[in-house]
Amino acid sequence: MRAIVYRDFGSPDVLHVEDVSKPALADDEVLVAVRAAAVNLFDWHMVHGKPYPVRFVLGLARRKPLGVDLAGEVEAVGPLITRFKPGDRVFGMGRDRRGYSGAFAEYVTVPERALTLAPTNATFAESAAAVMAGLTALQGLRDHGKLQRGETVLVNGASGGIGTYAVQIAKAMGACVTGVCSRRNVEMVRSIGADRAIDYAVEDFTTGSGRYDLILDMVCNHSWSSIRRVLTEKGRYLLCGGPPIRALSRLVRAPFTKGKLRPFIARGTVESLDAIRDLMESGAVRSVIDRSYPLEEANDALRYVVAGHTQGKVVLSI
């Protein structure tokens, strides 16, 4: 089978397609024929090898696989699998039992808990795009932000992968949503449900009159003092991205913010994947796909994501 692999850390140029053996199926695994895989900044950190602990974890493997988010069809199941059968359309995380990711391939074996049935009204690309970004938005708003109906939400980075899902999920939860994005994305952010879209080149949301019960921040381009000023008395701030050093300095402050700054890590669970599927099937959430690349152009796809100006998600078609 064909798979994207890399042997050295560095730029996207280290990625290449290889013919590798089809993965062996364990008793408690599902073999998935991958039809689409989404590209994330997480993949860039794996390839770039920074922060450096990444190299310690992955460096021992001579040939490193890549890719987490996938959608495809069940090819075969181990004898201990009860939830799936061959032919099922599924989406989820292409990680094996050791935690290695290999969704940028024609086939992958994954534990049963990493998958669920895909939305019936979505393409493979739309399903794959929703995995990591959708889970981060959902768990941030629902589980860590404790968003309540009628509250005000600001999404900083509303036109990106996580941001497009966050706007839609917040709206589905009954919030009043403001999205911050570039001028070219203002209409798109409005079209997916934002009550207000702010062009960051024209208006700085931290100096305006708006106050927010919850801020989901994928950019981390404002000081904590500026952010705190526009939070309501019981406002919460969730950091989901931004320059690593700036984000780390923000997280160091978390214990001293009286619960306003809430760091979190999204986790892949069947319950959350099912919730994303239900939102998509109801029409409340849809995937915004910026570009689709063939598997052989994974390096170009990753390079485009790293540039930081995607409108929604970038996927590989396999």
pLDDT on residue 261: 86
Q: What tokens appear for 318 in the block?
A: 């396999």
Q: Binning pLDDT at 50, 70 and 90, where does residue 137 land?
A: very high
Burial code (b: 16+ CB inside 10 Å, e: under 16) for 34-44 equals bbbbbbbbebb
Report the percent of the chain where pLDDT is more than 70: 90
Q: Report the C-alpha gap between 73 and 107 in whole angstroms.
A: 10
pLDDT on residue 95: 72
Please state, rounded to an integer, the average pLDDT across all residues of the chain.
Answer: 91
pLDDT of 144 > 60? The answer is yes
pLDDT on residue 169: 98
**Model's pTM, two decimal places?**
0.92
pLDDT of 54 > 90? The answer is no
Q: What tokens appear for 230 in the block?
A: 């526009």
Q: Are 114 and 193 in contact (CB under 8 A)?
A: no
Closest alpha carbon to 308 in 159, 177, 176: 159
Mean pLDDT of 103-122: 96
pLDDT on residue 312: 97
Q: Binning pLDDT at 50, 70 and 90, where does residue 9 land?
A: confident
Mean pLDDT of 61-87: 91
pLDDT digits (tens, 9 = 90+) for 239-261: 987 766 666 777 777 776 877 88
Mean pLDDT of 219-235: 93
Tell me, letter by letter, the H, E, C secondary structure of 109-177: EEEHHHEEECCCCCCHHHHHHCHHHHHHHHHHHHHHCCCCCCCEEEEECCCCHHHHHHHHHHHHCCCEE
pLDDT on residue 30: 96
Strand ranges (E), 40-97: 64-65, 69-77, 89-93
pLDDT of 172 > 70? The answer is yes
pLDDT on residue 308: 86
DSSP 254: G
Q: Which domains does the chain have, with CATH numbers?
A: 2-130+287-317 (3.90.180.10), 132-256 (3.40.50.720)
Least confident window among 28-32, 33-37, 243-247, 283-287 = 243-247
Mean pLDDT of 150-161: 97
pLDDT digits (tens, 9 = 90+) for 285-306: 999 999 999 999 999 999 999 9
pLDDT on residue 168: 98
pLDDT on residue 259: 74
Report the percent of the chain where pLDDT is more than 90: 77
pLDDT of 145 > 90? The answer is yes
Q: Report the C-alpha gap between 34 and 72 in whole angstroms.
A: 4
Can you spell out the DSSP letters for 280-314? Answer: HHHTS----EEEEEEGGGHHHHHHHHHHT--SSEE
pLDDT of 55 > 60? The answer is no
Q: Binning pLDDT at 50, 70 and 90, where does residue 40 land?
A: very high
pLDDT on residue 56: 55
pLDDT of 60 > 70? The answer is no
More confident residue, 8 or 258: 8
pLDDT on residue 8: 87
- Which amino acid is it at 94? G
